[in-house]
Amino acid sequence: MLQIFGKVAPPPGVERYGSLTGGGLVTFLNAILLLLIVAGGVYALFNIVIAGFQFISAGGNPENMQKAWARIWQSLIGLLFIAGAFVLAAIFGQIIFKDPTILIKPKIFGPQ
């Protein structure tokens, strides 16, 4: 086969994500999912800190304190949804596939 561009080597650090036939897309999607989960956690932490400052600076105003508490609870519920998604994925993975990590880190098997 004629190689027009010659031999192109992947950049350093790419080999840890696997080859194109070894689950590269699955690894990429797992990285995106992890990024979204971490971003959700950081956003919830940011909201809790801001709500704490709102609560402290409310100065006894019940309306402002109520808004701050609502923001804190909403952030905590968001964190519970993030953690609950992992727990449900592990439970369903264990029940259906006998592997709790199968839905969180899927494995693709192809022709050998």
Number of domains composing the chain: 1
- Residue 18's pLDDT is 58
User: Residue 9 domain-assigned?
Assistant: no
- Residue 17's pLDDT is 62
* pLDDT tens per residue, range 24-70: 677 777 788 889 988 999 999 999 999 999 999 998 899 999 999 99
Q: How many residues comprise the chain?
A: 112
User: Residue 21 domain-assigned?
Assistant: no
User: Residue 30 domain-assigned?
Assistant: no
- Sorting pLDDT into bands at 50, 70 and 90, what band is 10? confident
Q: Against a cut of 0.75, is the pTM above it?
A: no
SS (H, E, C) 34-70: HHHHHHHHHHHHHHHHHHHHHHHCCCCCHHHHHHHHH
Please determine, for residue 2, whether its predicted confidence score (pLDDT) is greater than 80: no
- Residue 62's pLDDT is 93
User: Residue 62 domain-assigned?
Assistant: yes
Q: Are 103 and 92 in contact (CB under 8 A)?
A: yes
CA distance 63 to 82: 29
Residue 82: give the domain boundaries. Answer: 44-105
User: Residue 32 domain-assigned?
Assistant: no
User: Residue 55 domain-assigned?
Assistant: yes
Write out the H or E segment, with its range, that includes residue 96: helix 62-97
